Amino acid sequence: MFPFLLWGRRSLSCIACLLFILFTIPSAELLSILRQCRIPPVLIDLLLLMYRFIFLFLDVLTQLQLAQRARGGYRTRQRWMYSTGLLVSQLMVRSLQRYQQFSLGLAARGFNGNFHLYSWLA
């Protein structure tokens, strides 16, 4: 058997296992396990922020798509291309605005540089 086919299967199986873990275990539990494995707190905070911003990004995306569909933005192919361009440009602007609101909320709550996660394991 060719070795490159074995590597492909191995990497696909590793990705499948990683996705299974990510989709079945709550993020707070995963981050507390990483904290117990003595992963640096900077990386854990970065993972937490990335997880949060994925959902902020998806929320903005669904709001913009809903607004465009309500105005008939995807009727023809030409209109679809125009609407997609508008969606991408507005997605960046609105995501940065939501980020600023999130940062302001953290500052108002007295964020001191590290997040505290509470889980069932701790």
Q: What is the mean pLDDT of the chain?
A: 83
Report pLDDT digits (tens) over 6-58. 667 888 888 899 889 888 988 888 888 888 899 898 888 888 888 888 888 88
Position 110 scores a pLDDT of: 81
CA 18/CA 53 separation, integer angstroms: 20
Position 30 scores a pLDDT of: 85
Q: Any residues with CB less than 8 A from the CB of 101 and at least 6 apart, and which?
A: none
Position 99 scores a pLDDT of: 84
Q: What is the pTM of this model?
A: 0.64
